């Protein structure tokens, strides 16, 4: 019998609660792996590859925001780039249901399907400073995907760029200015306009607000939510910021060392985590109400993140887990259903009493 995975879960059963339709998930990964060859041999000369993503089954339903969280180096961006179809090292499947109802595999699309994929699945990056060409005007930056992917030019191009500029809160007279004339928040609006100008269906946002000041961050988050409502967008929202994810996401997937260790609806995961790693991550979420501070203890994980080229045997988290037993060092726990709509990769997910945030 195969192990139940997030990808196996029946969307019609309402797992995750939002946006699941009879047409099924918008995006699914099946046994997705991205292994990077090491230039030098791994420690103790062992594996020779960094298993940045190592057997991930994930689904994103139409209209939802799925948050992808985990410590630096756990494989979030690598997974995002595999979803974008720009990781030649990717193995396994990335299945996307196109606007025409065709299921496309990110790694194998070509011709008209590739054009549809590039148009319908778009990315917003963390650092708009680095991702916007300083020598291009906003018209060129935002208009480029329209020109390249849809062959739009002339006054139609200008009209469409003007419309999306307005939609993201920038002025039409900004059209011929260069990125350096704008603040960090405005540049992120430009990145969002560039991602949305071709009217995509799925947006992969990789740390899209992480480089912004707190006040600007909430403006951009509100903008992302408004745009999602207006344009019927689905988001894969990659972030190491658990507070932002709690605010924005319908469901959460927690990654550790290239694997998903827990998924479920956001409110359930935060209130009642089933994996000790999730418990540790959310214990570090700041408590806004000063009267409540001190009511919850921050769990400090033992040791460093293990070398992804040489991950621990058994449960990959056992070297840092406060609940580990001998079994954990020897037997890898599969990601399995532990409650309706909840998957966790821990032998003791049902028995442990873990702390969440209320
Ligand atoms: N092109 C590459 N070649 C070799 N190793 C890579 C490459 N890209 C990422 N890695 C390694 O893969 C692992 C996962 O990296 P990734 O950037 O996906 O993590 P992340 O979760 O996005 O981290 P962060 O929160 O810092 O952005 C890391 O060990 C990283 O060093
Ligand atoms: S399987 Fe064991 S080591 Fe892994 S998370 Fe559960 S208790 Fe911790
Ligand atoms: Mg990253």
Mean pLDDT per block of 10 residues along the chain (358 residues) reads 46 34 83 89 65 96 98 96 95 95 91 93 84 92 95 96 97 93 93 96 95 92 97 97 95 98 97 96 79 70 87 96 97 97 97 90
Query: Of 34, 75, 123, which is best to mutate to test ligand 1, by the most ligand atoms within 8 angstroms of its C-beta?
Result: 75
Query: For residue range 162-188, what is the model confidence (pLDDT) as tens digits?
Result: 999 999 999 999 999 999 999 999 999
Does the Cβ of 76 fall within 6 Å of ligand 1? yes
Query: Of 256, 321, 338, 351, which is best to mutate to test ligand 2, by the most ligand atoms within 8 angstroms of its C-beta?
Result: 321
Model pLDDT, residue 16: 30
Model pLDDT, residue 292: 63
206 C-alpha to ligand 3 centroid (Å): 7
Other Cβ atoms closer than 10 A to 173: 9
> Positive or negative CA dihedral for 122, 125, 130, 134?
positive
Residues 23 and 279: their CA atoms lie apart, in Å, by 34
| Closest ligand 1 atom, residue 308 Cα | 29
Between CA 7 and CA 61, with CA 225 as vertex, the angle to 5 degrees is 15
| Closest ligand 2 atom, residue 347 Cα | 1
pTM of the predicted model as reported, rounded to 2 decimal places:
0.91
110 C-alpha to ligand 1 centroid (Å): 27
Residues 171 and 155: their CA atoms lie apart, in Å, by 17
Does the Cβ of 315 fall within 6 Å of ligand 2? yes
277: CB partners within 8 A, 6+ apart: 254, 256, 261, 262, 317, 320, 321
Which fold is adopted by the domain 25-35+51-249? Rossmann fold (3.40.50)
Q: What letter does residue 314 receive in the DSSP assignment?
A: S
Q: Could you give the residue range(s) of every CATH 3.40.50.300 domain in the chain?
A: 25-35+51-249
Starting from the CA of residue 255, give the closest ligand. Answer: 1
Model pLDDT, residue 119: 96
Q: Which of 24, 28, 29, 199 is nearest to 118 (CA)?
A: 199
Residue nearest to atom 26 of ligand 1 (CA): 72
Other Cβ atoms closer than 10 A to 58: 25
Query: For residue range 195-234, what is the model confidence (pLDDT) as tens digits?
Result: 999 999 999 999 999 889 999 999 999 999 999 999 999 9
φ/ψ of 342, rounded to 5, equals -120, 130
Residues 77 and 170: their CA atoms lie apart, in Å, by 28
Model pLDDT, residue 20: 40
| Closest ligand 1 atom, residue 78 Cα | 18
Model pLDDT, residue 349: 97
Go through 189-223 and write b for each residue having 16 or more CB atoms within 10 A of its CB, e for each that does not: bbbbbbbbbbbbbbbbbbbbbebbeeebbebbbeb
Model pLDDT, residue 43: 56
Q: Which of 191, 266, 208 is nearest to 17 (CA)?
A: 266
Beta strands in 38-105 (DSSP E): 49-60, 65-69, 90-97, 103-105
Residues 355 and 168: their CA atoms lie apart, in Å, by 39
The structure tokens listed for 129 are 């400073």
Model pLDDT, residue 12: 34
| Closest ligand 1 atom, residue 74 Cα | 21
């Amino acid at each position: 019998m195969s192990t139940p995975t997030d990808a196996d879960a029946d969307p019609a059963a309402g797992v995750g609660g939002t946006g699941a339709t009879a047409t099924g998930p918008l995006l699914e990964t099946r046994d997705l792996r991205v292994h990077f060859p090491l230039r030098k041999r791994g420690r103790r000369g062992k594996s020779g590859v960094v298993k940045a993503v190592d057997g991930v089954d994930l689904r994103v339903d139409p209209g939802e925001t799925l948050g992808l969280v985990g410590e630096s180096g756990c494989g979030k961006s690598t997974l995002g780039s595999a979803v974008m179809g720009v990781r030649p090292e990717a193995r396994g499947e990335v299945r996307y249901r196109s606007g025409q109802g065709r299921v496309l595999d990110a790694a194998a699309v070509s011709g008209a399907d590739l054009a549809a994929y590039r148009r319908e699945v778009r990315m917003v990056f963390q650092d708009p400073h680095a991702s916007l060409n300083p020598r291009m005007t906003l018209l060129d930056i935002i208009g480029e995907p329209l020109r390249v992917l849809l062959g739009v030019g002339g006054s139609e191009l200008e009209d469409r760029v003007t419309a999306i500029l307005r939609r993201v809160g920038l002025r039409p007279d900004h059209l011929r200015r260069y990125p350096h004339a704008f603040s960090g928040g405005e540049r992120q609006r430009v990145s969002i306009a560039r991602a949305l100008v071709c009217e995509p269906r799925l947006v992969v946002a990789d740390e899209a607000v992480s480089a912004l000041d707190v006040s600007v961050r909430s403006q951009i988050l509100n903008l992302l939510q408004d745009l999602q409502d207006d344009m019927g967008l689905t988001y894969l929202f990659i972030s190491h910021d658990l507070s932002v994810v709690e605010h924005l996401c319908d469901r959460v997937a927690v990654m550790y060392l290239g694997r998903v260790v827990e998924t479920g609806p956001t409110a359930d995961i935060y209130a009642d985590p089933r994996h000790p790693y999730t418990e540790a991550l959310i214990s570090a979420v700041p408590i806004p109400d000063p009267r409540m501070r001190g009511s919850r203890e921050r769990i400090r994980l033992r040791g460093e993140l293990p070398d992804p080229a040489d991950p621990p045997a058994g449960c990959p988290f056992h070297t840092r887990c406060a609940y580990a037993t001998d079994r954990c060092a020897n037997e890898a726990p599969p990601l399995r259903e532990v409650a309706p709509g909840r998957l966790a990769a821990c032998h003791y997910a049902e028995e442990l009493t873990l702390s969440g945030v209320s």
